[in-house]
């Protein structure tokens, strides 16, 4: 019984709960059990919150029994990336510097999740302060990819992706600054969406790079990602960059996409700069196969150019660290979080700050802070930060031109499938960053993107990325739903259904309970 | 070097940065209360504490106030401007960056005239006025008397963190010579009066609502390039500003006269002896890494909004003074006395309520001010302008004379009601019963034949000697003019 | 244009001071190497960032997002101090502060 409940999609759970087939407490307990059984091996969660989750679940059950009007997804559990601030529940951003921080407030999306009655199973693992694409850079140990526990789940939302892929949670909240939702979705055979910048409030999301960060819904299906997006989106007066537009009906877009013929006449733009060289043959094959399915279903495949793309990565690695260097200045051991005194010399506010930041931040975080400090410093600002902001304009212009020719753009989400642990260790940092080349431009331009499974390569999932113009997130859901159905039909089952469900335990545990 | 000698040798230049805390209900970027006092750390939100995940949203009223200030200082208002982050580490700075405006201030290129004690007008050019946020407050514990050096640790209260500030920066003020100290103080006083007049701040210097940083430099002559400047931080009273400028001019003159170089540094002002001492040396290491605040979007005040604010801007102090001088026909000196006494508002209101300007001024600057001082109260708290006007009206109607009016006023100041009510209750109205007056006059004439002789002999001032008994007999309620008429009629008749 | 590729350990030391991160000399050397490599790549942005291209600081062009000046519910002092590493008399206790701005 419990196993069955964890295998259901959020849409199925929503329907089952409303039909009274099972209670939210049943569903929540099933997922908590699954976490209990599998998370020692996977390390998806930094903090599991069984008491809060069950209390929400029983409250929803009680209210449903009393005939109250509830959110359609009330009672469907969700995991939340540990970069989302949760009142009274430890929030770490996977950093030692916030190891024991219990916030006194809720992120706007935490309040929305509470108001909708979704039990929060716990806080998922990630790269420290969302910096990384493997979830190896976590102060709480790595997350393992449920498809192959010797490989990374991607990152930075690796815990979120693994939790959805491994049936620990039907829905997962991630964040995406340069691909941190889409790339782990690709590596784990799940669906991850980076909405239009401003679609979902950033209030209470621990900032990495303010002008690039966006909360992203994740799930095993396009419909589930749409449902979570619908729930999280909407104007927030506490976020100055929050869009004021009415939230489009994403679930209606999914329904429209599910109809036969919905791809007829749709122009899918293949980006010349994001295919071929540098992409694994298996990835390229799965991507091409998915495009063939789309063509057979009536889509028109066109080629588009994004000539500034080669500069986008460079611009990203100037803008992101610059904003990081300033956003992370507040972690100084004065008001909250870790405080470390220097081992020698005078104990002053200045030396304590320096010792705290030295001890509390990991190597990648320090590297980005210093890079950003350099890029913003007097004498370099115009050449670096100033130029990068201009490249941003060029990238936006490229996309505007491309969307004249195509309704959505399609690319492989990442050049490879999930890589083994430790691949990064001795590599040139810039070469590693190249893995994000396909996902970063959407963050620079503010446009929405989605990764959904295109198939498998060498037994590992391959992600296909869809990009749409700003505010046209619904297009992703419509086209994504159709592509998902085509891939499922061709494979005889959803890609996510092929994931192994039992995992060998690693040497050490990475999970704690709150 | 003595100040007089210093200013005879060198030409001082001033640059003044004034921070004013805006009197908004909430802070600059969050909805925590912007109030003075209260318990420590009780006026904070995640945003003013800089907690992880918190975000700023601009206070629209603070923007309006900043525009008011810009317009009052004759500035251009930016079509569009952005906030920037000024990055530096300090424990009272919750985010370790200050959200400020760097190269895009909301107001720029202004000018105001300031008036010195003797009526000299000095124009001061305003470079910019920009919006920013205040920092928290450190209390240094364990060391000598709150000074930073020697303290064991500090305690930080973030109630003030995020309070909206407007910083107003002058262009160099040159050519004022020995009057530099006076000019600096008068400039800040003028700003203080403007802030109050346009309703953007209570501008209480003693509460730190208005804080001035004073840059001073000296040069060989008026054609020489500006010298190296020092910046004396947080000088917070007019007297201190005068003293700080005076001290810095003398100190720098000593250094220059000895062939030395003035260090570019911040300096601290000491109230006790009016001196300054070295703070931090400015260096190339000051690298604030300004960049546009990505969590805020540009502020682009529409021209309609700016014009609406301009149209509703209250009359500025200088214009009002000029207007009232013309309307009242009083001297500049008298006007300055009224302003310095802080009584311009009640005097103007009293005139508006029907009293003549001279009378209104006389009552407020005289009897009311005297009693207020006795009672240690603000004059305007004791009596309303309407009552003062009514009191004067009773005199003008002949119902009261000066002496009676003062008695009535005393009752009013004691809170016994309107002048007419006090007059009625105490029976203080001038006697109009001519029978009683005639009897008193006859009696006085009969009792003082020698005085009558003098008057007959042409010594008219002797009439005064009869007035005492007449007033006594009528308990002071006699109309002095009428009594005089009757005396002359009796004696000469 | 800055000489991007050559970053010295001394420059990194200055950056580490600005960023308030205590670093060992080994870390300074390693970081200098990393930053040098990254910067030699990212400096390419200047090639296309010509004067006629405007800068984009925000991905979505919004303006005038202003808040009504109405007091909300502040944190209690207890909440404000809940994460403080040290506190005294309702205030955050911090080590002695040297130097003053």
Query: Is residue B410 domain-shared with residue B465, that is, in the same domain?
Result: no
Mutate to test the interface with A, among B29, B40, B41, B55 (most CBs of A within 10 A): B55
Query: Is residue B398 domain-shared with residue B481, that is, in the same domain?
Result: no
A370: closest chain C residue by CA: C15
Classify A184 as helix, strand or coil.
helix
Residues 6+ apart with CB under 8 A from B428: B400, B404, B407, B408, B422, B477
Query: What is the rounded average pLDDT for all residues in chain A?
Result: 95
- CA–CA separation, A432 and A436 (whole Å): 8
Confidence at A302, pLDDT banded by 50, 70, 90 = very high
Name all chains with 3 or more CB-CB pairs below 8 Å to chain B. A, C
Residue A313 belongs to some domain of the structure: no
Residue A93 belongs to some domain of the structure: yes
Check whether B114 has a pLDDT greater than 70. yes
- CA–CA separation, A499 and A166 (whole Å): 7
- Give the gap in angstroms from C-alpha A209 to the nearest C-alpha of chain C: 12
For B186-205, give the secondary structure using H, E and C: HHHHHHHHHHHHCCCCCCCH
Q: Please give the average per-residue pLDDT across A195-205, as a whole number.
A: 98
CA B26 to chain centre: 24
Query: Is residue B356 domain-shared with residue B258, that is, in the same domain?
Result: no
C77: closest chain A residue by CA: A104
Say if C18 is an interface residue toward chain A (CB within 8 Å). yes
Residues 6+ apart with CB under 8 A from A16: A8, A22
- CA–CA separation, A107 and A86 (whole Å): 6
- CA–CA separation, A111 and B248 (whole Å): 56
Say if C35 is an interface residue toward chain A (CB within 8 Å). yes
B153-157, strands of its sheet edge to edge: B137-141, B153-157, C91-95, C87-88
* Residue B150: predicted pLDDT: 54
Token match 């909206």: residue?
A: B164
Picking from C58, C71, C91, the nearest residue to B297 by CB comes out as: C58
- CB contacts, 8 Å: B294 with chain C: 57-58
Q: Comparing A167-176, B232-241, C90-99, which segment has the lowest mean pLDDT? A: C90-99
- Token pair for B95: 């985010």
Q: Please give the average per-residue pLDDT across C74-98, as a whole number.
A: 95
- Which is nearest to A160 in space by CA: A199, A201, A85, A216? A216
Picking from A84, A211, A334, the nearest residue to B294 by CB comes out as: A211
What angle in degrees, to the nearest 10, is found between the helix axes of B402-413 and B419-426?
Answer: 110
Beta bridge partners of B123: B113
- CA–CA separation, B369 and B363 (whole Å): 8
- CB contacts, 8 Å: B87 with chain A: 325-326, 329, 376
Contact A221, A197 (CB under 8 A): no
Determine whether the interchain pair B94/A326 forms a contact, defined as Cβ–Cβ distance below 8 Å.
Answer: no
Residue among A44, A156, A157, A308 flagged as catalytic: A156
A327: closest chain C residue by CA: C19
Q: Please give the average per-residue pLDDT across B7-30, as a whole number.
A: 97
Query: Is residue B476 domain-shared with residue B419, that is, in the same domain?
Result: no
Domain that holds residue B76: 3-309
- Token pair for B234: 């947080």
Picking from C67, C68, C95, the nearest residue to B153 by CB comes out as: C95
Determine whether the interchain pair A206/B52 forms a contact, defined as Cβ–Cβ distance below 8 Å.
Answer: yes
Which of B309, B334, B351 is the C-terminal boundary of a domain? B309
DSSP β-ladder status, B97-100 and B153-157: unpaired
- CA–CA separation, B348 and B385 (whole Å): 8
Q: Where are the alpha helices (DSSP H) in B105-206?
A: 180-197
DSSP β-ladder status, A300-304 and A267-271: parallel
Sign of the CA dihedral running A340, A344, A347, A350: negative
Check whether B302 has a pLDDT greater than 80. yes
* Residue A47: predicted pLDDT: 98
How many distinct structural domains can be found in chain A?
1
- CA–CA separation, A193 and A251 (whole Å): 14
Query: What is the rounded average pLDDT for all residues in chain B?
Result: 91
Which of B277, B309, B341 is the C-terminal boundary of a domain? B309
Determine whether the interchain pair A350/B89 forms a contact, defined as Cβ–Cβ distance below 8 Å.
Answer: yes
Q: Which residues of C touch B (CB under 8 A)?
A: 14, 17-18, 20, 57-58, 62-72, 74-77, 80-81, 83, 88-101
Per the model's pLDDT, the better-predicted residue between A504 and A285 turns out to be A285
- List of E strands, A272-387: 300-304
- As a whole-number percent, the residues of chain B with pLDDT over 90 amount to 68
> Could you tell me the maximum CA-CA distance found in chain A, to the nearest angstrom?
73
- Token pair for B186: 């008068």
Q: Please give the average per-residue pLDDT across B235-253, as a whole number.
A: 95
- Token pair for B336: 């300055």
B58: closest chain A residue by CA: A240
Determine whether the interchain pair C69/B41 forms a contact, defined as Cβ–Cβ distance below 8 Å.
Answer: no
Sign of the CA dihedral running C41, C42, C46, C48: positive
- Token pair for A439: 């996902």
Q: Comparing A451-465, B210-224, B328-342, C75-89, which segment has the lowest mean pLDDT? A: B328-342
Per the model's pLDDT, the better-predicted residue between B426 and B213 turns out to be B213
* Residue A3: predicted pLDDT: 54
Contact B19, B210 (CB under 8 A): yes
Picking from B30, B45, B156, the nearest residue to C94 by CB comes out as: B156
- CA–CA separation, A452 and A219 (whole Å): 10
Contact A448, A473 (CB under 8 A): yes
Looking up residue B465, the CATH number of its domain turns out to be 1.10.10.410
**Can A509 be counted among the known catalytic residues?**
no
Determine whether the interchain pair B287/A378 forms a contact, defined as Cβ–Cβ distance below 8 Å.
Answer: yes
B89: closest chain A residue by CA: A329
Determine whether the interchain pair A240/B46 forms a contact, defined as Cβ–Cβ distance below 8 Å.
Answer: no
Count how many Cα atoms sit within 13 Å of the Cα of residue C85 in the half-sphere of its side chain. Answer: 21
For residue C97, give the DSSP letter.
P
Beta bridge partners of A176: A214
- CA–CA separation, A363 and B19 (whole Å): 40
Check whether A108 has a pLDDT greater than 70. yes
Contact B101, B82 (CB under 8 A): yes
Residues 6+ apart with CB under 8 A from C101: B88, B90, B266, B280
Q: Please give the average per-residue pLDDT across A35-43, as a whole number.
A: 97
Query: Is residue B365 domain-shared with residue B472, that is, in the same domain?
Result: no
Check whether B144 has a pLDDT greater than 60. no
- Token pair for B481: 């003019």
- CA–CA separation, B155 and B157 (whole Å): 7
The H or E element spanning position A404 is helix A387-405
Query: Is residue B235 domain-shared with residue B274, that is, in the same domain?
Result: yes
- CA–CA separation, A284 and A417 (whole Å): 11
Query: Is residue B123 domain-shared with residue B204, that is, in the same domain?
Result: yes
Confidence at B167, pLDDT banded by 50, 70, 90 = very high
Looking up residue A172, the CATH number of its domain turns out to be 3.90.1300.10
Check whether A419 has a pLDDT greater than 50. yes
Instruction: Tell me the per-residue pLDDT of A381-410, one tens digit each, with 9 for 90 and over.
Output: 988 999 999 999 999 999 999 999 999 999
Q: Please give the average per-residue pLDDT across B261-268, as a whole number.
A: 93
Contact A365, A325 (CB under 8 A): no
- CA–CA separation, C80 and B45 (whole Å): 8
Residue among A24, A44, A79, A81 flagged as catalytic: A81
Confidence at A430, pLDDT banded by 50, 70, 90 = low
Q: Please give the average per-residue pLDDT across B212-225, as a whole number.
A: 93
* Residue B143: predicted pLDDT: 59
DSSP β-ladder status, C87-88 and B210-219: unpaired
For residue A166, give the DSSP letter.
T
- CA–CA separation, B324 and B343 (whole Å): 13
Check whether A412 has a pLDDT greater than 80. yes
Mutate to test the interface with A, among B45, B51, B53 (most CBs of A within 10 A): B53
- Which is nearest to B78 in space by CA: B110, B49, B48? B110
Check whether A83 has a pLDDT greater than 60. yes
Phi-psi region of B400 (alpha: psi -120 to 50; beta: other; left: phi over 0): beta
Query: Is residue B288 domain-shared with residue B342, that is, in the same domain?
Result: no
C80: closest chain B residue by CA: B41
DSSP β-ladder status, B230-235 and B210-219: antiparallel
- Which is nearest to A372 in space by CA: A324, A329, A331, A330? A324
Check whether C23 has a pLDDT greater than 50. yes
Beta bridge partners of B15: B215
Residue A80 belongs to some domain of the structure: yes
Contact B232, B268 (CB under 8 A): yes
Neighbour-count burial for B224-258, b at 16+ CB within 10 Å, e otherwise? eeebbbbbbbebbbbebbbbbbbbbbbbbbeebee
Picking from C57, C69, C98, the nearest residue to B25 by CB comes out as: C69
Per the model's pLDDT, the better-predicted residue between B174 and B339 turns out to be B174
Determine whether the interchain pair B289/A93 forms a contact, defined as Cβ–Cβ distance below 8 Å.
Answer: no
Classify B338 as helix, strand or coil.
helix
Classify A512 as helix, strand or coil.
strand
Check whether C5 has a pLDDT greater than 80. no
Query: Is residue B320 domain-shared with residue B387, that is, in the same domain?
Result: yes
Check whether B284 has a pLDDT greater than 60. no
Confidence at C1, pLDDT banded by 50, 70, 90 = very low
- CA–CA separation, A498 and B136 (whole Å): 56
Domain that holds residue A111: 2-253+265-277+280-302+403-485
Mutate to test the interface with B, among C67, C83, C84 (most CBs of B within 10 A): C67
Query: Is residue B395 domain-shared with residue B283, that is, in the same domain?
Result: no
ipTM for the complex?
0.95
* Residue B475: predicted pLDDT: 79
Query: Is residue B280 domain-shared with residue B347, that is, in the same domain?
Result: no
The H or E element spanning position B3 is helix B3-9
Confidence at A514, pLDDT banded by 50, 70, 90 = very low
- Token pair for C78: 């207890």
Q: Where are the alpha helices (DSSP H) in C23-97?
A: 25-42, 45-48, 77-80
Confidence at B493, pLDDT banded by 50, 70, 90 = low
How many distinct structural domains can be found in chain B?
3
**Residue B369 burial (CB < 10 Å; 0-12/13-18/19+)?**
middle
Per the model's pLDDT, the better-predicted residue between A425 and A314 turns out to be A314
Query: Is residue B325 domain-shared with residue B295, that is, in the same domain?
Result: no
Q: Where are the alpha helices (DSSP H) in B83-148?
A: none
Per the model's pLDDT, the better-predicted residue between B435 and A264 turns out to be A264
Determine whether the interchain pair B266/C101 forms a contact, defined as Cβ–Cβ distance below 8 Å.
Answer: yes
**Can A81 be counted among the known catalytic residues?**
yes
- CA–CA separation, A439 and A412 (whole Å): 9
Confidence at A61, pLDDT banded by 50, 70, 90 = very high
Per the model's pLDDT, the better-predicted residue between B110 and B456 turns out to be B110
- CA–CA separation, A459 and B102 (whole Å): 54
Q: Please give the average per-residue pLDDT across B433-441, as a whole number.
A: 81
Mutate to test the interface with C, among B23, B28, B49, B280 (most CBs of C within 10 A): B49
Which of B280, B309, B338 is the C-terminal boundary of a domain? B309
* Residue A512: predicted pLDDT: 44
- CA–CA separation, C25 and C13 (whole Å): 9
Check whether B59 has a pLDDT greater than 90. yes
C21: closest chain B residue by CA: B89
Per the model's pLDDT, the better-predicted residue between A278 and A354 turns out to be A354
Q: Please give the average per-residue pLDDT across B340-353, as a whole number.
A: 91
- CB contacts, 8 Å: A353 with chain B: 89
Residue A395 belongs to some domain of the structure: no
Token match 């920066």: residue?
A: B169
Confidence at B398, pLDDT banded by 50, 70, 90 = confident
Q: Please give the average per-residue pLDDT across A297-309, as a whole number.
A: 96
DSSP β-ladder status, C91-95 and B11-21: unpaired
């Amino acid at each position: 019984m419990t196993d069955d409940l964890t295998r259901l999609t959020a849409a199925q759970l929503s329907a089952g709960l409303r039909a009274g087939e099972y209670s939210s407490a049943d569903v929540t307990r099933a997922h908590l059990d699954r976490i209990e059984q599998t998370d020692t091996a996977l390390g998806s969660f930094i903090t599991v919150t069984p008491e809060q989750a069950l209390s929400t679940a029983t409250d929803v059950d009680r209210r449903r029994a009393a005939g109250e009007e509830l959110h359609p997804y009330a009672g469907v559990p969700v995991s939340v990336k540990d970069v989302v601030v949760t009142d009274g529940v430890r929030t770490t951003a996977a950093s030692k510097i916030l190891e024991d921080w219990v916030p006194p407030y809720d992120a706007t999306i935490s309040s929305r999740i509470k108001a909708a009655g979704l039990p929060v199973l716990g806080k998922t693992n990630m790269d420290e302060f969302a910096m990384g694409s493997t979830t190896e850079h976590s102060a709480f140990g790595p997350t393992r990819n449920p498809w192959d526990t010797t490989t990374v789940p991607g990152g930075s939302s690796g815990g979120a992706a693994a939790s959805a892929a491994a049936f620990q949670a039907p829905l997962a909240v991630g964040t995406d600054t340069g691909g941190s939702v889409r790339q782990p979705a690709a590596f784990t055979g799940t669906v991850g969406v980076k909405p239009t910048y401003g679609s979902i409030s950033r209030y209470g999301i621990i900032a990495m790079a303010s002008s690039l960060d966006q909360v992203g819904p994740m799930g095993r299906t396009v419909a589930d990602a749409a449902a979570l997006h619908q729930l999280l989106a909407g104007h927030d007066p506490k976020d100055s960059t929050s869009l004021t537009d009415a939230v489009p009906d994403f679930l209606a877009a999914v329904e429209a996409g599910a109809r036969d013929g919905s791809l007829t006449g749709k122009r899918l733009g293949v980006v010349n700069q994001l295919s071929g060289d540098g992409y694994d043959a298996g990835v390229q094959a799965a991507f091409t196969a998915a495009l063939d399915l789309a063509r057979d279903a009536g889509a028109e495949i066109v080629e588009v150019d994004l000539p500034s793309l080669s500069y986008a990565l460079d611009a990203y690695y100037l803008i992101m660290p610059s904003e990081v260097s300033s956003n992370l200045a507040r972690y100084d051991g004065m008001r909250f979080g870790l405080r470390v005194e220097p081992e020698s010399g005078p104990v002053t506010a200045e030396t304590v700050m320096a010792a705290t930041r030295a001890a509390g931040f990991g190597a990648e975080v320090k590297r980005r802070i210093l890079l950003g400090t350099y890029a913003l410093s007097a004498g370099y600002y115009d050449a670096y930060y100033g130029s990068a902001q201009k490249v941003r304009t060029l990238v936006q212009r490229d996309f505007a031109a491309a969307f004249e020719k195509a309704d959505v753009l399609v690319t492989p989400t990442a050049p490879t499938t999930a890589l083994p642990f430790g691949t990064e260790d001795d590599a040139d940092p810039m070469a590693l960053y190249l893995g994000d080349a396909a996902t970063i431009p959407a963050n620079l331009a503010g446009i929405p993107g989605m990764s959904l499974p295109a198939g498998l390569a060498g037994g590992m999932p391959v992600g296909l990325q869809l990009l749409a113009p700003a505010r046209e997130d619904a297009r992703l859901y419509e086209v994504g739903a159709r592509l998902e159905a085509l891939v499922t039909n061709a494979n005889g089952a959803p890609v996510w259904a092929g994931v192994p469900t039992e995992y060998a335990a690693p040497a050490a545990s990475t999970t704690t309970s709150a | 070097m003595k100040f007089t000698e210093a200013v005879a040798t060198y030409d001082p230049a001033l640059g003044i940065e004034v921070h004013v805390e805006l009197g908004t209900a909430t802070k600059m970027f969050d909805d925590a209360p912007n109030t003075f006092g209260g318990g420590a750390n009780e006026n904070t939100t995640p945003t003013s504490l800089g907690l992880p995940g918190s975000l700023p949203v601009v206070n629209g009223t603070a923007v309006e106030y900043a525009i008011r200030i810009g317009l009052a200082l004759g500035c251009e208002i930016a079509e569009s401007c952005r906030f920037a982050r000024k990055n530096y580490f300090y424990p009272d700075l919750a985010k370790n960056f200050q959200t400020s405006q760097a190269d895009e201030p909301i107001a720029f290129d202004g000018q105001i005239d300031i008036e010195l004690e003797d009526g000299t007008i000095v124009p001061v050019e305003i470079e910019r006025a920009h919006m920013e946020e205040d920092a928290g407050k450190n209390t240094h514990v364990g060391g000598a008397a709150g000074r930073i050096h020697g303290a064991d640790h500090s305690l930080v209260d973030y109630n003030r963190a995020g309070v909206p500030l407007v910083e107003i920066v002058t262009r160099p003020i040159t050519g004022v010579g020995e009057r530099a100290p006076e000019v600096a103080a008068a400039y800040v006083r003028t700003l203080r009066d403007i802030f109050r007049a346009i309703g953007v701040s209570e501008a209480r210097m003693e509460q730190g609502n208005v804080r001035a940083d004073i840059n001073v430099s000296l040069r060989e002559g008026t054609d020489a390039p500006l010298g190296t400047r020092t910046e004396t931080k947080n000088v917070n009273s007019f007297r201190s500003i005068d003293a700080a400028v005076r001290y810095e001019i003398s100190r720098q003159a000593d250094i220059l006269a000895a062939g030395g170089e003035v260090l570019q540094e911040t300096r601290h002002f000491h109230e006790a002896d009016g001196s300054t001492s070295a703070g931090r040396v400015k260096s190339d290491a000051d690298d604030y890494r300004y960049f546009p605040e990505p969590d805020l979007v540009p502020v682009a005040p529409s021209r309609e909004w700016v014009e609406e604010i301009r149209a509703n801007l209250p009359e500025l102090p200088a214009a009002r003074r000029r207007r009232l001088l013309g309307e009242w026909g009083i001297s500049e000196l008298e006007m300055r006395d009224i302003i310095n006494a802080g009584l311009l508002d009640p005097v103007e209101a009293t005139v508006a309520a029907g009293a003549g300007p001279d009378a209104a001024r006389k009552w407020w600057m005289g009897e009311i001010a005297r009693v207020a001082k006795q009672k240690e109260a603000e004059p305007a708290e004791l009596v309303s302008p309407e009552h003062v006007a009514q009191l004067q009206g009773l005199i003008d109607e002949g119902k009261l004379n000066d002496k009676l009016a003062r008695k009535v006023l005393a009752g009013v100041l004691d809170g016994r009601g309107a002048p007419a009510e006090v007059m009625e209750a105490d029976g203080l109205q001038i006697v109009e019963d001519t029978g009683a007056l005639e009897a008193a006059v006859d009696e006085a004439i009969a009792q003082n034949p020698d005085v009558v002789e003098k008057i007959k002999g042409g010594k008219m001032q002797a009439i005064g000697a009869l007035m005492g008994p007449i007033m006594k007999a009528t308990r002071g309620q006699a109309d002095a003019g009428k009594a005089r008429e009757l005396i002359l009629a009796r004696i000469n008749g | 244009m800055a000489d991007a590729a050559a970053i010295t350990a001394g420059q990194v030391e200055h950056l580490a001071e600005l960023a308030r991160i205590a670093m060992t000399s080994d870390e300074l050397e390693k970081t200098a190497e990393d930053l040098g490599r990254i910067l030699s790549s990212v400096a390419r942005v200047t090639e296309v960032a010509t004067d006629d291209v405007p800068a984009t600081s925000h991905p979505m062009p919004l303006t005038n997002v202003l808040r009504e000046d109405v007091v909300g519910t502040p944190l209690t002092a207890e909440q404000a101090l809940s994460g403080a590493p040290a506190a005294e008399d309702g205030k955050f206790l911090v080590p002695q502060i040297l130097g003053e701005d």
